Amino acid sequence: MKRVFYGAAIQGAKDRKERSSVHEFLITSIKQQGFDVATEHTTGKTYEEAMQKLQQAIGPLPADEFERKIFVRNKMIEAIEGDIIAAIFEVSTPSLGTGIEIAHAYLRPRLGLPVVPVLALYQKEYWPNNLSTMIRGISPKHVPHFSVKEYTSLDEAKHIISDFLIAEP
């Protein structure tokens, strides 16, 4: 099955439960198109639920907190640099971690990996300071396989995802 990487902020969200339902809706939209999603931990409504889902996707997590962070980071990067056909990120909530994942996704060619299309979804007017310049500043001229799409409703986001994935082989 064709695999898609889905990433989004979970630590910096105003309310993990609120954004988890957005992530669940978007991941379900991806799966309805016939794609597998690398990990669904962003759908966790609590820290514990997110860790359980993460563990289901990447294997047993080290007990030591520092080792766990290294392990999770490495596994996320492996997934992005692995056998995926696309990467989709929900970027309405600022996140350093999601930014690193995005960079690994769109810089795959520099690592000798196949290009994959990257979609960044942004919920209009969700975050008070709007979308980061580091995301808005990725231009189609310089990174033609990267697109930013703004949405006002989850149904609109679902259509954007559908159009994005239909365009993929």
Please give the Cα distance from 142 to 139 (Å, whole number).
Answer: 5
Q: How many domains does the chain have?
A: 1
Distances (CA, A) of 128 to 125, 138, 159: 7, 21, 25
Domain of residue 45, residue span: 3-166
pLDDT digits (tens, 9 = 90+) for 124-136: 988 877 888 889 8
Note the pTM of the prediction, 2 decimals.
0.92
| % of the chain at pLDDT higher than 90 | 70
pLDDT digits (tens, 9 = 90+) for 48-105: 888 899 999 999 999 999 999 999 999 999 999 999 999 999 999 888 999 999 999 9
State the average pLDDT over residues 7-34: 85
The domain spanning residue 37 has which CATH number? 3.40.50.450
